[in-house]
Structure 1
Amino acid sequence: MWYFSWILGLLLACSLGILHILRFEAQETFEKEHIPLDPLTRLFTKDVMMTRLREKVENSRRNGFPFSMIALSLEEFNNQHQLVDYESDTVMRNVVDYLKEEIREGVDIAARMNEQVLLIVLPGASLKRAETTAAQFKNHIMTDIKAPRDLSIDVTVGVVTYSGDNADIPATQTVDELVHQACGQVHAC
């Protein structure tokens, strides 16, 4: 008879463990589904991107797996042509729609850092690959995406790569420096 009690106890423990795991997975799913997105572009916000970048830096330090970042800025274009807000929003939406088609879903991370700057993280990408990708993005945006009043869009790009160096510097400081370098190349952020 004791073994029936033991088996029931084991089944109860297993079911409680499974319930705990399912609850944890449901909580993770809820958090993933409720990440704040930029209302115009439906990309991550700057805060979410900074958190994701810290995770990428820590993973890169642990695994030696590099990642690259591409900063895209429409700031000079908007300043030069004095676009009204809704025209500027249309241009940004068109650029983001193109980028969403081109980036690797579930791998690359894209965010709107401020009104006119986008940041794309390419995990596993070398500097050369990121520069090639940035040049392709820039070329396509300038030639194929049209702005109001038939203006051709001028976009500024910056590229930075991180390969797990500077393990003694806190991840937050490393992320701030990387974003500053990428945005510094486009004179924004």
Structure 2
Amino acid sequence: MKIVIINYGAGNIQSIKFAIQRLGYEAILSDTVEEIQNADKVIFPGVGEASSAMSKLRLSGLDKIVPQLKQPVLGICLGMQLMCNSSEEGNTKGLGIFDLDVVKFPKSVKVPQIGWNEISSLKSDLFTAIPEKSHIYLVHSYYAPLGDETIAESEYALSYSAALQKDNFYGTQFHPEKSSAIGERILQNFLEL
């Protein structure tokens, strides 16, 4: 199986690669259109700021390629947010895969939300054998609201989308690569889709 992690200058790429190696697979880092299009599975990572991350995607032409991919694609953290219509962070236009607009947490809560939190209302094969209220690891100041494409919820002052799915596109606001055995199982489930 050919697993490609899109390498567009976002953080957390090595930790994802190591998590996949622990599952017994090899992943390659690439920003080459042909390599990404020919992968069996694509992981779209992200740690950083939305507008600069989108600028890097546009420079490489990947903003046009990612929404057209036909194989399973997993956006992680900022990767998931960039797959939405827009983000308040840097007033950024997203890839428009998920029909949601990413917004900042209310001023009443401390941002970023850092640490472990529960996920619930789990839907989709991404969560096969994952119990309700499992703990996952998050670091974020912006969130995708609940919507038709929400496949998991979490709560921080309000309920928001912890994961999204539309067709072959999946996104997790949390970091499966940093979420211990639960996160490894979610990555395994993605690789087995």
Normalised by the length of structure 2, the TM-score is 0.25
User: Quick one: higher RCO (CA 8 Å, sep 6+), 1 or 2?
Assistant: 1
Normalised by the length of structure 1, the TM-score is 0.25
Say which structure is richer in helix.
1
State which structure, 1 or 2, has the greater radius of gyration over its C-alpha atoms: 1
Say which structure is richer in strand.
2
